[in-house]
Amino acid sequence: MPEFVVHPLIKENSVEQRLYQEVLVARVLEKGNSLVVAPTALGKTIVAVMIAAHLLQKKPEAKILLVAPTKPLAVQHKNSFTKFMKLEEEKIVLLTGSTPSSKREALWQNASIISATPQAIENDLIQGKLSLKDVNLIVFDEAHRAVRNYSYVFLAQNYMKQALQPLILALTASPGGEEERIQEVCKNLFIQNIEIKSEGDEDVKPYTHEIENEWIKVDLPAEFLEIKKLLKGFMREQLLFLKKLGYAKGIYPNMMRRKDLIELQVRIRRDLIQRAKTHPAIYMAASRCAALLKIAHAELLLETQGISSLQEYFAKMFSASQKSGATKAGKYILGKEEIQKAIALTKALHEKKIIHPKVEKLQEVLSKQFAGNPESRVIVFNHYRDSAKFLEKQLNSIAGIKAKRFVGQAMKERDKGMSQKEQIQAIADLKEGKYNTLIGTSVIEEGLDIPAVDLVVFFEPVPSEIRAIQRRGRTGRLAKGKAVILMARNTRDESFYWSAVSKEKAMKKVLHSMKGMPLEKKKMEAQTTLTKFNEEAKNKIIIFVDTREQASNVVRELSKREDVFIKVKQLELGDYVLSDQVIVERKTVEDFLQSMIDGRLFNQLVDMASNYEKPLMLIEGRQEEIYALRNIHGNAIKGALTSIALDYHVPIIFTKDLEESVSFLYLIAKREQLGKDRDIRLRIGRKGLTQNELQQFIVESLPLIGPTMAKSLLKHFGSIRKLFLASEEKLQKVENIGEKKASEIRKIIDAEWKEE
């Protein structure tokens, strides 16, 4: 008989006692902000439940926030916490974009546990409708999403600024295969500790179920190879043309990845802006490169999906070529003899109902599965919607298979997708047995409450280790599971499979190398005005760098200069503070354009201009690229640049590359600091403060004191003078001022000033 966790806030006989989970809980509580990496079904949510129970027992008025990337997953977490925790039902709430704005604030105020989508919390934070001050724990599910500008990053930053006792628990089955990505996730979520659990761990083995992996390889039919030969001939012709113009390095399509082709296209687009007037052939190069990408995709469909998908693709290409404003690339492709032959062969095979040999193998695998266990549940993963529709038809023609296509909500061309209601219904139908097979695109890999299944089939391998791990994780949860990977020999299928395997191995190696290492402590330090540092910083140019810039090559290059002292801190504004007056926001051209689209740009400008006398925008990359990289009208970009200079009074400096950015930052800092007795101001305080704001500003400079605590102290004592005269005992009478904080405040007030 299993033993169960006994805790005042956990329902009796609801949480099975597992040593590895209790160890994880203890380590998170001991070491602080933690990333827990563990396969699906090892109970990462239970770890969150146990930590939440511990914190709420110590401080019942605190709040616990769980964020998940989709509404169905947020609903799942709410249900899990309701199932396990001994709290009134109204204390566990759900906040998503579907929750009326008028109700969200009241729900937040009255709740102990909030399960939410990050966008909903982000919007309410921006509008000032809620504060994270009393949140004692944030759980970031699917934590690998915390990269670039995803809402998790914004929430983590604001949480560490606002919370009185912050603790972050990040959960994922895979944070990524590249060390840089893992480091980015850790940095963005202020991770101090990494915990890893795998099926092979001795303390985990009793609770895991074996997943049998089977690889089935097929050979492409001769007719497929004939079409492939025609497509390859066309692609070699384009590469030869591009090589003559100095763009392509080789003429063999097999040596060019899609990533290489896209980089080639970006390079040609840049040259269109800079040199097209004097080199008209660049226009032709752009058209040929676009044609190359289109046919490379056609080849991918042929190799991995089959004739039906390729026929559909050619039909769409022909339809687009007949419309007004059709691209030259499309017309050029359809005018080539080898492509016409490929289209004719594809059409003939389609009419003969020739299918990819992987489809036949899929039918065999599923027929065998249901013959052995008619009550089985199966998920077939397929990357393409059109192909998933074709597979649905093919599988439903086999006795015993009841298949349902499962796709995302977005409308793509003539496919309107599935609403969230339809998705939920399809999942319910799978559980009840109306269907026994779901054919899902990437939407089914994460973020949905899909029941455990007996078999998962990869119709095509994926090059992403994250997606491969998530796909496998849909089976083997409650009993032994099986994963079948279908591959066509000597095609992209094989290269994608080995790419994912390699990345997964790299991920495990990186994680184990990071485990136990003292990660940089990301906890917000007390805001302070500092004039000088230790001996190391004396007589040097001091440059404050935001933690998010720490991994950039700019920081590395600046730190190489002997007369520069880099101080990495979490800056409230900007990326670099170069003096008490100068703050710099550095953006690549791509980031600048994205920040225009998502609205970050102008909020950043307002904050910088309000707090520093000399704000500066540094845009890195060729200036001409600003009109080429994104599909934004040139007048809109010019209007934004004009507004930045004239309305926001923020000068813009364009730098062509990293080296020039480093040079500008260094020279500005040197100009501002050398020969001047000037402190570098890090606290945020608007020019022209009111008396109340100035008083709060002064009190915030005390150790461990933030905005909320500063107001509490001023309200309690009535003036700065009375506060500064208060004893440690009197200070401790203020809410949330403990012995340690009182001691630190008195220590700094009573300390004698010593010239350094």
User: Does CATH place domain 19-207 in 3.40.50.300?
Assistant: yes
Domain ranges of the chain: 19-207, 222-351, 357-513, 535-673, 691-750
Q: Helix or strand or coil: residue 457?
A: strand
Can you tell me the distance from the alpha carbon of 189 to that of 168, in angstroms, rounded to the nearest whole number?
7
Phi-psi region of 190 (alpha: psi -120 to 50; beta: other; left: phi over 0): left
Contact 398, 366 (CB under 8 A): yes
Name the DSSP letter for residue 114: E
pTM attached to this predicted model: 0.60
pLDDT the model gives residue 516: 55
Place of tokens 């160890």: 23
Residue 457, C-beta contacts closer than 8 angstroms, at least 6 positions apart: 362, 365, 366, 378, 379, 380, 381, 483, 484, 485, 486
211-218, strands of its sheet edge to edge = 211-218, 481-488, 455-458, 378-381, 437-440, 403-406
The DSSP element (H or E) to which 708 belongs, if any, is: helix 707-717
142 burial type by CB count under 10 A (0-12 exposed, 13-18 middle, 19+ buried): buried
Residue 183, C-beta contacts closer than 8 angstroms, at least 6 positions apart: 551
pLDDT the model gives residue 1: 67
Buried/exposed 459-484: b ≥16 CB within 10 Å, e otherwise = bbbbbbbbbbbbbbbbbbbeeebbbb
CB atoms within 10 A of CB 40: 17
377 burial type by CB count under 10 A (0-12 exposed, 13-18 middle, 19+ buried): buried
Can you tell me the distance from the alpha carbon of 389 to that of 439, in angstroms, rounded to the nearest whole number?
8
State which amino acid sits at residue 733.
K
Closest CA to 52 of 76, 27, 81, 79: 81
Phi, psi angle pair for 573, to nearest 5°:
-130, 150
Closest CA to 713 of 697, 728, 734, 692: 734
Closest CA to 266 of 595, 638, 625: 625
Name the DSSP letter for residue 623: G
**Tokens (6 digits) for 520:** 């940089």
Can you tell me the distance from the alpha carbon of 299 to that of 234, in angstroms, rounded to the nearest whole number?
11
Common-topology check for domains 222-351 and 691-750: no
pLDDT the model gives residue 687: 45
State which amino acid sits at residue 751.
A
Task: For domain 222-351, give the fold.
Answer: phosphoenolpyruvate carboxylase, domain 3 (1.20.1320)
Can you tell me the distance from the alpha carbon of 187 to that of 552, in angstroms, rounded to the nearest whole number?
12
Contact 395, 473 (CB under 8 A): no
pLDDT the model gives residue 550: 63
Cα pseudo-dihedral 382, 385, 387, 388, rounded to 10: 60
Helix residue spans in 336-463 (DSSP H): 337-351, 357-372, 385-395, 420-432
Phi, psi angle pair for 617, to nearest 5°:
-105, 125
Task: For domain 357-513, give the fold.
Answer: Rossmann fold (3.40.50)
Phi-psi region of 171 (alpha: psi -120 to 50; beta: other; left: phi over 0): beta
The per-residue DSSP string of 52-73 comes to HHHHHHH-TT-EEEEE-SSHHH
Can you tell me the distance from the alpha carbon of 166 to that of 27, in angstroms, rounded to the nearest whole number?
16
**Tokens (6 digits) for 77:** 């977490």
**Tokens (6 digits) for 69:** 């990337």
Residue 717, C-beta contacts closer than 8 angstroms, at least 6 positions apart: 723, 726
pLDDT along the chain (756 residues), means of 10: 88 91 92 90 90 95 94 90 94 91 88 94 80 95 89 90 93 83 91 86 81 92 95 93 86 78 85 76 89 93 93 90 78 92 95 94 95 93 90 93 89 78 88 93 74 89 84 80 93 88 81 61 35 49 81 73 78 86 91 83 82 90 79 81 87 91 92 66 49 78 77 89 90 87 88 74
To the nearest 10 degrees (0 to 180), the angle between helices 337-351 and 222-244 is 160
- Second CATH level (architecture) for the domain 691-750: Orthogonal Bundle (1.10)
Contact 731, 746 (CB under 8 A): yes
Can you tell me the distance from the alpha carbon of 63 to that of 77, in angstroms, rounded to the nearest whole number?
15
C-alpha separations of 738 from 68, 366, 704, 730, 732 in Å: 34, 64, 11, 11, 5
Task: For domain 535-673, give the fold.
Answer: Rossmann fold (3.40.50)
Q: Is the dihedral of CA 627, 630, 633, 639 positive or negative?
A: negative
**Tokens (6 digits) for 571:** 């800056």
Can you tell me the distance from the alpha carbon of 573 to that of 676, in angstroms, rounded to the nearest whole number?
23
The per-residue DSSP string of 458-509 comes to ESS--S-HHHHHHHHTTBSSSS-EEEEEEEETTSHHHHHHHHHHHHHHHHHH
C-alpha separations of 23 from 9, 139, 204, 292 in Å: 19, 18, 12, 54
C-alpha radius of gyration, the chain, whole number: 30
Q: Helix or strand or coil: residue 127?
A: coil
Terminal CA-to-CA distance of the chain, rounded, Å?
Answer: 68
CB atoms within 10 A of CB 663: 14
Closest CA to 670 of 550, 585, 535, 565: 565
Q: Is the dihedral of CA 305, 306, 309, 310 positive or negative?
A: positive
Closest CA to 273 of 626, 630, 633: 626
